[in-house]
């Protein structure tokens, strides 16, 4: 049964509601929601603006608009998010993959020149699995393990692996960072929670109301998860392997120091598209454990060096 509402009227109403709720690109978002409900591409929404919505379409469009006006993230309403041109299922239990995190993938690609390398990859705090699965997509002979303390995210990551045809090369397991893992890896990648606890309340409503605190909260100074996960890295990293961790604004130097104090050498950093240092790269320091005083003294020289090439053996 048709409703009395045409598509363009529904879009106009939605744009007003979303605008009133403080959403910046209200028209674009209304169009995305309409495309979702009508099961067409966003471009197709404007082809027939005069069509009348069927009753169930009008009801479900309104429900989406109400959710979005309450600042539920678009990715959670659509149930999906693109990351490196791959489509990932997203739920209320997973962090919505961010474009900034693509910096880590670029950093690995720049460091490992051989796409046919049979890498073993570890992703600590895997969430949707976006980092591990994007890398497995780039390295067709690689295999990987994704670890998360949240069992709900692991289900989503496994679904994503299946949907992307990568289930045969990926394992997802519950764990507390690298605790309990026995094998070693050529690439260890991680985007841990790094927002200082007191700063979470000041983030946008989409994040504070709807994203899992477990994926955000980095403790008092934002660095608690780096301290916890770095402890196992020298044991889990191949001698020629590389660690790639995402960092928040202004955290690169502190995280670099933490790497050094956990027996690693910082090999470089990488910036995101906004010019913010987003990724710290490190490798095992040969033969020594604990703080390398020489490296602390000459850190600038070391950190500004181009990333060392990683060879898979």
Ligand X SMILES: C[S@@+](CC[C@H](N)C(=O)[O-])C[C@H]1O[C@@H](n2cnc3c(N)ncnc32)[C@H](O)[C@@H]1O
Q: Which residues bind ligand X (CB under 6 A)?
A: 95, 97, 101, 125-128, 130-131, 147-150, 153, 176-177, 191-193, 214-215
Complex with ligand X: residue 128 or 251, whichever CB lies closer? 128
What SS3 state is found at 277? strand
Complex with ligand X: residue 181 or 214, whichever CB lies closer? 214
State the pairing for strand pair 264-271/185-190: unpaired
Complex with ligand X: residue 120 or 278, whichever CB lies closer? 278
In the complex, minimum distance from the CB of residue 124 to ligand X, in angstroms, rounded to a whole number: 6
Complex with ligand X: residue 172 or 303, whichever CB lies closer? 172
In the complex, minimum distance from the CB of residue 54 to ligand X, in angstroms, rounded to a whole number: 36
In the complex, minimum distance from the CB of residue 236 to ligand X, in angstroms, rounded to a whole number: 13
Alpha-carbon span 252 to 271, nearest angstrom: 10
Complex with ligand X: residue 42 or 79, whichever CB lies closer? 79
Query: 71 near 205, Cβ under 8 Å?
Result: yes
Complex with ligand X: residue 10 or 229, whichever CB lies closer? 229
In the complex, minimum distance from the CB of residue 100 to ligand X, in angstroms, rounded to a whole number: 9
Q: Of 242, 222, 225, 204, nearest to 73 (Cα)?
A: 204
Burial of residue 19 (CB within 10 Å: 0-12, 13-18, 19+) is middle
How remote is the C-alpha of 73 from its chain's centroid?
15
In the complex, minimum distance from the CB of residue 149 to ligand X, in angstroms, rounded to a whole number: 4
How remote is the C-alpha of 16 from its chain's centroid?
31
Q: How far apart, in Å, are the Cα atoms of 94 and each of 18, 73, 120, 235?
A: 24, 12, 24, 28
In the complex, minimum distance from the CB of residue 260 to ligand X, in angstroms, rounded to a whole number: 22
């Amino acid at each position: 049964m048709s409703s009395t509402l045409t598509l363009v009227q529904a879009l106009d109403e939605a744009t007003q509601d979303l605008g009133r709720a403080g959403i910046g690109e209200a028209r674009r978002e209304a169009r995305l929601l309409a495309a979702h409900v009508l099961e067409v591409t966003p471009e197709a929404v404007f082809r027939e603006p005069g069509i009348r919505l069927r009753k169930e379409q009008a009801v479900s469009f309104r429900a989406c608009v109400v959710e979005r006006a309450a600042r539920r993230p678009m990715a959670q309403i659509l149930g999906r998010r693109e990351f490196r041109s791959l489509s990932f299922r997203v739920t209320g239990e997973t962090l919505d993959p961010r474009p900034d995190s693509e910096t880590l993938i670029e950093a690995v690609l720049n460091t490992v020149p051989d796409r046919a390398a049979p890498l073993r990859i570890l992703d600590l705090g895997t969430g949707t699995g976006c980092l591990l699965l994007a890398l497995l997509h780039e390295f067709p002979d690689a295999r990987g393990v994704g670890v998360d303390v949240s069992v709900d995210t692991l289900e989503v990551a496994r679904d994503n692996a299946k949907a992307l045809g990568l289930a045969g090369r990926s394992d997802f397991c519950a764990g507390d960072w690298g605790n309990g893992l026995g094998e070693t890896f050529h690439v260890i990648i991680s985007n841990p929670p790094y927002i200082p606890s007191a700063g979470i309340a000041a983030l946008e409503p989409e994040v504070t109301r709807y994203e899992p605190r477990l994926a955000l909260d980095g403790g008092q100074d934002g660095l608690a998860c780096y301290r916890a996960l770095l402890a196992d890295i020298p044991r889990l990293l191949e001698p020629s392997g590389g660690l790639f961790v995402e960092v928040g604004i202004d955290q690169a130097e502190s995280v670099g120091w933490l790497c050094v104090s956990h027996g690693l050498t910082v090999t470089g950093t990488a910036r995101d598209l906004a010019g913010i240092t987003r990724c710290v790269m490190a490798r095992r320091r040969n033969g020594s454990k604990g703080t390398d005083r020489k490296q602390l003294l000459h850190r600038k020289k070391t950190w500004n060096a181009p990333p060392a090439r990683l060879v898979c053996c």
